[in-house]
Amino acid sequence: MHGANSSSLTPTHFILSGIPGLEAAHVWISLPFCFMYVIAVTGNCGLMYIISHEEALHRPMYYFLALLSLIDISGCTSFVPNTLCIFWLRLKEIDFNACLVQMFFIHMLTGMESGVLMLMALDRYVAICYPLRYATILTNTTIARAGLATFTRSVLLMMPFTFLIKRLPYCRGNLVQHTYCDHMSLAKLSCGNIKINAVYGLIAALLIGGFDMFCISLSYTMIVRAVINLASADARHKAFSTCTSHISAIVITYVPAFFNFFTHRFGGRSIPHHVHILIANLYLLLPPTLNPIVYGVKTKQIREGVIKLFTREKDAFRVR
């Protein structure tokens, strides 16, 4: 086997194919990828800067948003630069251990994103259902512990993927039909028993995505009940308006993720492989690109923070 140690059947490296069947269009496909990546990094860095510098945004909701932005930047940076190298320079080779590291970070950060969206739903629940106790319930210590718990959960649940991949014998070559190192794409190159990989992948998805969606649904059920009981229509509108950005972020994140999950497992051969790969890339790249836009457009405090920032920069330029 090319690039393999014959005694252990473990390859020294993998070859990432890019998007199979669309090799001729790689350069054109790279343009929206690059554009989205620049928007994602710029937008999320801008959000973190504004949240850190504006006193009015030093609240739990925005701390969680800053954490989400950090995860989004890390998530798309874990695979987009490498994907662009495949598209532009045809640098398709990736070291075996580097591939496992990339796989771990992609899955771990995806799990963290889901966890932070769940924490943001709980934040909205406390803000709307217990407004007078909001500051005492969501203290800085509580927020730090919640963030640490989300990180720990993702690391502990995603770490076994690296061992499950490393134990497998690879006798079907080392060509990965993908733009990045994905758990099941690597497992399918093995001639060993990958049933445990598939089962554990499903368990991890349920423990993270399933649990988080349950908590989010429960939080919004309570929120809707509390808002309906508010006396004035204006109060109801104001309460719901504080949730629109978060609901948009949930839709942007979970719809492509679940679509990718179900088409990958139940789509079979009815969906072309290159469509699977495109969806797998979009579900990782779309949320980081759109989240800062959604929060910038729909959140009044962030809009005001952006205006203040540009006003200060303009005044400083005039002074010079």
Q: What are the structural domains, with CATH classification, of the chain? A: 11-317 (1.20.1070.10)
pLDDT for the residue numbered 187: 92
State the residue for tokens 């942007």.
Answer: 252
Contacts of residue 244, defined as CB under 8 A and 6 or more positions apart, other chains included, come to 298
Q: Using the Cα atoms of residue 145, residue 151, residue 153 and residue 155 in order, give the sign of their dihedral.
A: negative
pLDDT for the residue numbered 110: 94
3 state SS of 267: coil
Rounded CA gap, 291 and 117, in Å?
Answer: 11
Q: How far is 59 from 224, CA to CA, in rounded Å?
A: 23
Helices and strands: H and E segment counts in the chain: 13, 5
Report pLDDT for 1: 46
Q: For residue 79, what are the contacts with CB-CB under 8 A and spacing of at least 6?
A: 102, 106, 179, 180, 281, 284
One digit per residue, the tens of pLDDT, for the chain of length 320 reads 444 444 457 889 999 999 988 888 999 999 999 999 999 999 999 999 999 988 888 899 999 999 999 999 999 999 999 999 999 999 999 999 999 999 999 999 999 999 999 999 999 999 998 989 999 999 999 999 999 999 999 999 999 999 999 999 998 889 999 999 999 889 989 988 899 999 999 899 999 999 999 999 999 999 988 888 876 777 777 777 778 888 889 988 888 887 777 766 665 567 788 888 998 899 899 999 999 988 887 788 888 877 877 776 666 666 65
Question: Distances in Å between the alpha carbon of 44 and those of 71, 113, 191, 310?
Answer: 9, 14, 42, 17
State whether residue 189 is helix, strand or coil: coil
Chain centroid to Cα 202, Å, comes to 18
This prediction's pTM: 0.90
CA pair distance 67, 116, nearest whole angstrom: 8
Tokens of 296: 């910038």
* Cα–Cα distance, 208 to 200 (Å, whole number): 12
- The two beta strands, 4-5 and 10-11, are antiparallel
- Taking the C-alpha atoms of residue 65 and residue 59, their distance in angstroms, rounded to an integer, is 10
Q: Per the structure block, which two tokens stand in for 183?
A: 């758990």
Q: Report pLDDT for 268.
A: 56
Sign of CA dihedral 73, 20, 14, 159: positive
**Helix (H, G, I), strand (E, B), or coil: what is residue 8?**
coil
